[in-house]
Structure 1
């Protein structure tokens, strides 16, 4: 996912730290933008699942009947949203976690340990096959 309108990126380790104006990073603005996940939130709401940016909501998503797998147009968008939502939950609930950007433009979550988690790829895998479960990946990341 390439997000050129986010502005300049400051290089730091593998992923760049996101910056809205080329100066200091704007983590709250970036987090708000990446947390929108409109398609996923809409699909979840239709199924009666509220997404409140908690680990429990990831468990609820894992239980949804994957009707989207039959729609080749929706699948990649939903996978992207699932990854961004997973990242949103991690950033909001795991101490020291923050959004970063790999050189090719894909958002990742950087943990306090320095590990970078490619949440977008995980979201695509979840949308396509259900594996790994979002809650399982969250649990692994939260314990690290």
Structure 2
């Protein structure tokens, strides 16, 4: 997911800081709406990733919706990682792609993982989280 507007987004004094970017990336509006309609509360916890893995994937027949949901799923996964894994932080690549950088220095492309999850359900978001949390 290329987010070129992040570099141009202005606030008093310039580009938003890391907290502002993290808030923007955490919105995941389509995913949160889908989860809410299914009775799932997304509270930015690892347990909510397990609940998402149980959603009935009705979006897979709609390519556009699946793509947006994949972006949101990846950003939500990243949000949970950044908020719960010590030393994890958002980083925006020069091409505008948001990734999560772990304390070990490993870079994790959460958006790509979200697209894979939305398209096929594999790997599960909770499984990805567990792998990253162990790093």
Same fold per superposition (TM over 0.5): yes
1:70 aligns with 2:55: no
Q: Which residue of 95, 101, 104 corresponds with 1:113? A: 104
Structure with the higher fraction of residues in helix conformation = 2
For the aligned residue pairs, the C-alpha RMSD in angstroms reads 2.0
SS state at 2:41 partner: coil
Q: Which residue of 98, 113, 137 corresponds with 2:128? A: 137
Residue 25 of structure 1 deviates from its aligned partner by: 7.2
What residue in structure 2 maps to residue 95 of structure 1? 86
Q: Structure 2: which 5+ runs fail to align? A: none
1:3 aligns with 2:3: yes
Question: Structure 2 CA distance, aligned partners of 1:143 and 1:81?
Answer: 23
Which TM-score applies when normalising by structure 1? 0.86
Q: Which runs of 4+ in 1 moved over 3 A?
A: 20-25
What residue in structure 1 maps to residue 22 of structure 2? 31
More divergent stretch after superposition (108-117 vs 65-74): 65-74
